Amino acid sequence: MDLNELKNDWISEFANPMIIAGPCSAESEAQMLETAKRLKESGAEISAFRAGIWKPRTKPNGFEGVGVIGLNWLKKVKEEFGFKTATEVANAHHVFAALEADVDILWIGARSTVNPFTVQEIAQALRGTDKPVLVKNPVNPDLALWIGALERLLGQGVENIGAIHRGFSTYQKTKYRNIPNWQIALDFKNQFPNIPLFIDPSHICGNRTGLAGVAQEAFNVGYQGAIIESHCDPDNAWSDASQQITPEVLAGMITNLQVRNSDI
Ligand code: PEP
Ligand code: MN
């Protein structure tokens, strides 16, 4: 089977657009529950609650995620607020722990997508799962690596897949944290029109002011979803503070986004 033969009907179980929101990192049970509660109360149509448990940080000796205890907090978010849950997996151990804890949606981060050995290990650990698995673009602008990661998943019988456009590293000073390089994502979309494509404006922008514009640009060209970082106290977040927004700000932003009707 190749990627263009996939049915990709898993996404139709979710709202259009499918919004995944929650903090960059799980920090404490209180922070997770407070963020989830406010996302719920905001009235925004959120399909899943995200939080990183294992955090791929650029430098050592900083906060590298709370680890498996965060899986219990994701479970509580699901039980108390009814959200499906999503987290990043970066090795086989993460996959086994996340599957065991019944996390609903898994994603492969940009620093993992660059490494075929890592992706292969993750894919094998996921073998045959019917949970949705989303693959972020690699940090470098390499379309083939991005596609290759999806093919590795498919090779292990993982058929409910999607792609996340989170921008690409650059040494140049730009207004973006990771330049969107829209053409790469559009080439992806043209090659695989049926694979659900998500925008990650948080990691593209690296700030709060650009989020809505980047998300709108993506919806204008038919992306089906977005993953957006939202934290109950963004200024004091333990990672990616400058790009996180409160649940209330997120709800307002979602209300104002125009979504292209996929039937036209
Ligand atoms: C994240 O989603 O918090 C994250 C680490 O993202 P990326 O892999 O896109 O850098
Ligand atoms: Mn982040």
The three-state DSSP-derived secondary structure of the chain is CCHHHCCCHHHHHCCCCEEEEECCECCCHHHHHHHHHHHHHCCCCCCEEECECCCCCCCCCCCCCCCCHHHHHHHHHHHHHCCEEEEECCCHHHHHHHHHCCCCEEEECHHHHCCHHHHHHHHHHCCCCCCCEEEECCCCCCHHHHHHHHHHHHHCCCCCEEEEECCECCCCCCCCCCECCHHHHHHHHHHCCCCCEEECHHHHHCCCCCHHHHHHHHHHCCCCEEEEEECCCHHHCCCCHHHCECHHHHHHHHHHCCCCCCCC
Given pLDDT bands bounded at 50, 70 and 90, which one contains residue 262?
low
Protein residues with CB under 6 Å of any ligand 1 atom: 24, 52, 56, 109-111, 136, 166, 203
For a substitution probing ligand 1, which of 66, 111, 164 has the most ligand atoms within 8 Å of its CB? 111
- Return mean pLDDT, the chain: 97
pLDDT per residue as tens digits for the range 28-39: 999 999 999 999
Residues 231-257, mean pLDDT to the nearest whole number: 98
CATH topology of domain 17-55+63-256: TIM Barrel (3.20.20)
Query: Is the predicted pLDDT of residue 211 greater than 90, yes or no?
Result: yes
In the chain, domain spans: 17-55+63-256
d(CA 150, CA 25): 25
The ligand placed nearest to the CA atom of residue 111 is 1
pLDDT per residue as tens digits for the range 144-172: 999 999 999 999 999 999 999 999 999 99
Atom number, ligand 1, closest to the C-alpha of residue 200 = 9
Residues 106-115, mean pLDDT to the nearest whole number: 98
Atom number, ligand 1, closest to the C-alpha of residue 52 = 3
Q: Dig out the tokens for 93 from the structure.
A: 């151990």
Say what the ipTM of the complex is: 0.98
Q: What is the dihedral of CA 19, 92, 10, 192, to 10 degrees?
A: 90
Residues 63-83, mean pLDDT to the nearest whole number: 98
% of the chain with per-residue pLDDT over 90 = 97
Given pLDDT bands bounded at 50, 70 and 90, which one contains residue 2?
very high
- What pLDDT sits at residue 264? 41
Residues 6-26, mean pLDDT to the nearest whole number: 97
- What pLDDT sits at residue 263? 44
- What pLDDT sits at residue 260? 75
How many other C-beta atoms lie within 10 A of the C-beta of residue 98?
Answer: 26
The ligand placed nearest to the CA atom of residue 242 is 2
